[in-house]
């Protein structure tokens, strides 16, 4: 028998028997013994009693919490499952409580508000919250809510409320069936979290994720890059077949790949061109026998790189076969086995390409005996440092002549090892012959090099002096042997080493050095300043340089610079002192005007008819204003003592303390203007800042809000703070006259700039607080609308 039917019948009968008595009695149903010749009435009563017991048995053994009530909500039945679920006993609840005891009060209020909006009538947050819809619709009303056990623990339930009616359609009570849905809620949350994680994962990848059925129908799609799709927006895909979206040949290709994936459960890859010259790659993976997942990635750059690489290889081969010289690729082994060498090798060595690539001829066998050691040494050094090597050496030509080669190359790494060498060789035999001829010229210049008074030097790009004229020994005290035994960087002042290295590096690129200064160490430990001009012979790895000693001139320049700096420092000090005096004068004139005005306002509240109590109240307020005025004067005097080297004192300051102090000093004006001032410092209650500056800022902004209030409404001022990253932000908002920002925005914080016809407006306050804020590296700006009000935003 249906539990709800039994329950309704049981509760209806029980409620009738109870006659809705405010103090319901427990129903006791006794079995009527069947007699051998019982009348029809006895048989009926016996069957009815048996039905009662069956209903009670079902109600008390079911795991569903079942509670019945009177129309007013007084509990009339409370089964075993309800006792187990709530922790209350039937004796505690029947005839003594309403089910609202089990419910969260806030939840009752929220549901009452929702029902009021839904039904268009006021629903009170009481038992009516649960029964109004069941009573109105005459069907069970199901809702999720929170139960509170006797021990205070909370848990979610699914509650079904049914209104009970008698034969005359008179409401006789309610039945409520509650099911604990804690486990289902946990499962739902896990499912939502899982779906959220999946959605977040799919949305975080750069690929397009597409779900396709075995019939080729798009069932879902995720992407942040809709421009890669054939059709946009992405919603246009869902429900369509591949043929509806893709070109015919591509849809056939995808159909075939999807069929293979469903058959083998192995992923397939498809590359294809898309719109506007783009390329995409689709990885199709098995989900189940009905669906596959396609991850589509933009591979335009990769395809373009492949095309460019193919073109580059063709260009390289064309260039390699026509360039004067030899391009090669070899292994990094003892004999530098050739993998590729251009046709130019025959002009350089006299041997064919195949002689080297087949291993018939090893290039190392052609090295001049005197050059072998430095070739291998310099090559190994370059490889260890991971740099390009540059070699010059001789090889024996096939005809027996010695040829000079210039070789530049670099290593090709595989992991941590240099596997291959690629480079370029050129024949410089004629150049070497010309250099030999130039040697004679160099010898003729020898005497010229050694005679000048200037410091002449020839150094190698390897970092060593090659030649120095005698002037070096005379000026610095080192012998030429001492110079040449050490790298020239060892003589450079440590502060000039990096700049000198950069200058040498510039010379290595073939650039001339026209003017460069550094300091060289004397043998006695002192340093002298040199002014250089230099040029490099990159081919011979040499630097030709000339320097003059400018030590005395630099000393004179430093003396002049020191004098200039002293004068500038004095001028800056005077400017700072003038600024401090000017600022202090403005602070005094502006910050004292508000307290004095407040005193006048407070006194103005008294007249000949004022009572003693009123005099006492005003006197107390005047006393507070006087104390605040004294504190302000003391703080302002302290700021005057700050010297140029002393930073403005900052302390931990609570906004509320400053706010209260300013409010006290303005209390008279606040009373006269009937102003409402509210504040919110919860998010940022304090700041490490100058107390006097912060008080000046708050006082000026509140004074302005009162001064420029609208005559059409009472002043309302809101002062609040919040955090913005590492900064603290103060906002002061009023509903006053407002400012035309288009007309006056750029002049708002100017000195003596006023924007309203107010008799006390002097245009000093905003200028003053802007100066104070910027002195501590803060900013201030304003947002305003005419006749709406103004907001000042200060970022500390």
Q: CATH number of the domain at 205-303, please? A: 3.30.450.20
Which residues lie below 8 Å from residue 393, measured CB to CB, with a gap of 6+? 367, 368, 371, 374, 375, 404, 405, 407
**Neighbouring residues of 141: CB distance < 8 A, sequence distance ≥ 6:** 130, 131, 133, 134, 160, 161, 162
What's the per-residue H, E or C state across 517-528?
EEEEECCCCCEE
Task: Give DSSP secondary structure letters for 461-493.
Answer: TTSBEEEE-THHHHHH---HHHHHHSBGGGGB-
Query: Once rounded to an integer, what is the mean pLDDT over residues 526-545?
Result: 91
Nearest to 282 by CA among 232, 239, 215, 218: 218
**pLDDT at res. 268:** 92
Of the CATH numbers 3.40.50.300, 1.10.357.10, 3.30.450.20, 3.30.200.20, which one belongs to the domain with range 3-182?
A: 3.30.450.20
CB atoms within 10 A of CB 507: 23
Distances (CA, A) of 513 to 126, 423, 521, 530: 94, 30, 21, 14
CB-facing half-sphere around the CA of 590: CA atoms within 13 A: 28
The most confident of the ranges 232-236, 343-347, 518-522 is 518-522
User: How many CB atoms within 10 Å of residue 393?
Assistant: 19
Whether residue 268 contacts residue 284, with contact meaning beta carbons closer than 8 Å, is answered with yes
Q: Do 76 and 94 touch, CB atoms closer than 8 A? A: yes
Tell me the three state secondary structure of residue 4: helix
- Please give the pLDDT value at position 11: 46
Q: Judge contact between 716 and 676, C-beta under 8 A.
A: yes
- Residue whose structure tokens are 């809101």: 718
Q: What are the residues facing 271 on neighbouring strands?
A: 281
Does the pLDDT value for residue 492 go beyond 60? yes
Alpha-carbon distance 564 to 562, whole Å? 5
What ranges make up the beta strands (E) of 208-354?
208-213, 218-222, 268-273, 279-288, 291-298, 326-331, 338-341
Question: Between residues 544 and 315, which one has the greater pLDDT?
Answer: 544
Predicted TM-score (pTM) of the model is: 0.29
For domain 323-432, the CATH class is alpha beta
Asked if 228 and 205 count as a contact pair (C-beta separation under 8 A), the reply is no
pLDDT band at residue 704 under the 50/70/90 scheme: confident
- Asked if domains 3-182 and 574-795 share a fold, the reply is no
Q: Is 14 in contact with 77 (CB distance < 8 Å)?
A: yes
Q: Are 302 and 294 in contact (CB under 8 A)?
A: no
Kindly indicate the confidence band of residue 163, based on its pLDDT and cuts at 50, 70 and 90.
very high
Tokens 């063709």 correspond to what residue?
A: 314
Model pLDDT, residue 297:
83
So what's the pLDDT on residue 199? 63
CB 625 within 8 A of CB 595: yes
Question: Under 8 Å CB-to-CB from 135, ≥6 apart: which residues?
Answer: 163, 171
Task: Give me the pLDDT at residue 625, please.
Answer: 75
464 near 489, Cβ under 8 Å? no
Listing from the earlier edge strand, what are the strands of the sheet with 789-795? 676-680, 716-724, 727-734, 789-795, 779-785
pLDDT above 70 (res 14)? no
Longest CA–CA span in the chain (Å) reads 157
Q: Answer positive or negative: Cα dihedral of 197, 198, 203, 206.
A: positive
pLDDT digit string, tens, across residues 283-304: 999 989 899 998 888 888 887 7
**What DSSP state is assigned to residue 592?**
T
The pLDDT value recorded for residue 21 is 39
Element holding 191 (H helix, E strand): helix 182-204
Taking alpha carbons only, the member of 420, 319, 326 closest to residue 366 is 326
Rama region for 366: left / alpha / beta (φ>0; ψ in -120 to 50; rest): alpha
pLDDT band, residue 583 (cuts 50/70/90): low
Q: Which of 461, 557, 566, 563 is CA-nearest to residue 517? A: 557
Selection from 40-49, 419-428, 434-443 with the highest mean pLDDT: 419-428
- Whole-number average pLDDT of the chain: 82
Residue range 574-795, CATH number: 3.30.565.10
> Given a cut of 70, is residue 669 above it in pLDDT?
yes
Mean predicted confidence (pLDDT) in 737-741: 86
In whole angstroms, give the CA distance from residue 455 to residue 192. Answer: 82
For residues 600 and 637, give the distance between their C-alpha atoms in angstroms, rounded to a whole number: 24
User: Cβ(163)–Cβ(134) under 8 Å?
Assistant: yes
Which is more confident, 401 or 9? Answer: 401
Q: Which superfamily is assigned to 445-549 in CATH?
A: PAS domain (3.30.450.20)
Q: Would the pLDDT of 117 be above 70?
A: yes
Q: Residue 98: pLDDT above 60?
A: yes
Band (404; pLDDT cuts 50, 70, 90): very high
- Residue 91's Cα: distance from chain center in Å? 60
- CA-wise closest residue to 422 among 435, 409, 406: 409
The reported pLDDT for the residue numbered 189 is 82
Q: Is the pLDDT of residue 627 over 80?
A: no
Domain ranges of the chain: 3-182, 205-303, 323-432, 445-549, 574-795
**What confidence score (pLDDT) does residue 668 get?**
83
């Amino acid at each position: 028998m249906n539990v709800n039917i039994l329950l309704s019948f049981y509760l209806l009968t029980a409620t009738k028997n109870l006659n809705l008595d405010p103090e319901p009695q427990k129903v006791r149903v006794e079995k009527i013994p069947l007699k051998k010749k019982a009348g029809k009435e006895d048989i009926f009563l016996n069957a009815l009693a048996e039905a009662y017991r069956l209903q009670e048995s079902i109600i008390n053994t079911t795991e569903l919490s079942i509670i019945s009530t009177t129309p007013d909500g007084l509990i009339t039945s409370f089964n075993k499952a309800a006792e187990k679920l709530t922790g209350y006993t039937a004796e505690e609840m029947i005839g003594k409580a309403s089910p609202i005891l089990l419910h969260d009060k806030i939840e009752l209020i929220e549901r009452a508000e929702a029902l009021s909006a839904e039904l268009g009538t006021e629903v009170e947050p009481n038992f009516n919250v649960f029964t109004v819809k069941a009573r109105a619709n005459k069907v069970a009303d199901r809702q999720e809510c929170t139960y509170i056990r006797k021990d205070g623990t909370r848990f979610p339930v699914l509650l079904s409320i049914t209104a009970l009616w008698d034969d005359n359609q008179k409401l006789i009570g309610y039945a409520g069936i509650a099911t604990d849905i804690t486990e289902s809620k946990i499962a739902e949350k896990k499912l939502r979290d899982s779906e959220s994680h999946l959605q977040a994962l799919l949305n975080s990848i750069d690929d397009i994720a597409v779900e396709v059925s075995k019939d080729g129908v798009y069932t879902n799609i995720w992407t942040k890059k809709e421009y890669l799709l054939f059709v946009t927006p992405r919603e246009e895909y869902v429900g369509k077949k591949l043929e509806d979206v893709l070109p015919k040949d591509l849809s056939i290709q995808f159909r075939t790949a999807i069929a293979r994936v469903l058959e083998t459960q192995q992923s397939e890859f498809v590359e294809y061109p898309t719109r506007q010259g783009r390329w995409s790659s689709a990885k199709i993976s098995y989900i189940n026998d009905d669906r596959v997942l396609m991850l589509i990635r933009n591979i335009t750059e990769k395809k373009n790189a492949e095309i460019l690489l193919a073109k580059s290889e063709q260009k390289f081969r064309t260039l390699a076969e026509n360039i004067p010289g030899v391009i090669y690729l070899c292994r990094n082994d003892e004999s530098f086995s050739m993998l590729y060498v251009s046709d130019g090798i025959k002009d350089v060595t006299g041997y064919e390409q195949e002689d080297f690539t087949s291993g018939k001829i090893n290039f190392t066998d052609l090295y001049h005996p005197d050059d072998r050691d430095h070739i291998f040494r310099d090559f190994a050094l370059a490889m260890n440092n991971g740099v390009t090597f540059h070699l010059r050496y001789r090889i024996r030509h096939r005809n027996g002549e010695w040829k000079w080669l210039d070789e530049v190359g670099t290593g090709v790494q595989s992991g941590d090892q240099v596997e291959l060498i690629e480079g370029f060789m050129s024949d410089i035999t004629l150049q070497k012959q010309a250099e030999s001829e130039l040697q004679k010229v160099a010898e003729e210049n020898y005497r010229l090099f050694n005679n000048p008074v200037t410091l002449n030097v020839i150094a190698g790009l390897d970092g060593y002096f090659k030649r120095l004229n005698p002037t070096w020994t005379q000026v610095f005290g080192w012998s030429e042997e001492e110079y040449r035994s050490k790298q020239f960087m060892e003589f450079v002042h440590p502060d000039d080493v990096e700049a000198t290295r950069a200058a040498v590096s510039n010379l290595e690129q073939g650039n001339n050095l026209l003017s460069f200064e550094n300091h060289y160490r004397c043998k006695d430990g002192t340093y002298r300043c040199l002014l250089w001009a230099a040029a490099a012979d990159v081919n011979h790895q040499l630097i030709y340089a000339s320097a003059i000693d400018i030590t005395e001139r630099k000393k004179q320049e430093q003396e002049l610079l020191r004098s200039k700096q002293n004068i500038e420092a004095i001028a800056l000090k005077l400017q700072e002192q003038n600024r401090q005096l000017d600022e202090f004068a403005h602070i005094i004139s502006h910050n004292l005007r508000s307290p004095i005005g407040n005193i006048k306002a407070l006194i103005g509240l008294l007249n000949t008819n004022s009572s003693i109590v009123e005099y006492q109240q005003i006197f107390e307020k005047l006393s507070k204003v006087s104390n605040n005025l004294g504190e302000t004067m003391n703080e302002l005097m302290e700021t005057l003592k700050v010297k140029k080297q002393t930073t403005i004192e900052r302390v931990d300051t609570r906004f509320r303390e400053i706010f209260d102090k300013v409010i006290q000093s303005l209390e008279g004006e606040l009373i006269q203007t009937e102003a409402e001032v509210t504040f919110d410092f919860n998010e940022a209650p304090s700041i490490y800042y100058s107390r006097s500056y912060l008080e000046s800022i708050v006082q000026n902004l509140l004074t302005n809000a009162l001064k420029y209030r609208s005559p059409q409404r009472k002043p309302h001022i809101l002062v609040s703070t919040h955090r913005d990253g590492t900064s603290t932000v103060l906002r002061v908002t009023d509903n006053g006259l407002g400012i035309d920002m288009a007309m006056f925005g750029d002049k708002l914080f100017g000195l003596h700039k006023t924007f309203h016809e107010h008799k006390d407006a002097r245009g000093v306050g905003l200028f003053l607080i802007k100066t104070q804020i910027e002195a501590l590296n803060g900013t201030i700006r304003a947002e305003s609308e005419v006749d709406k009000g103004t907001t000042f935003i200060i970022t500390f």
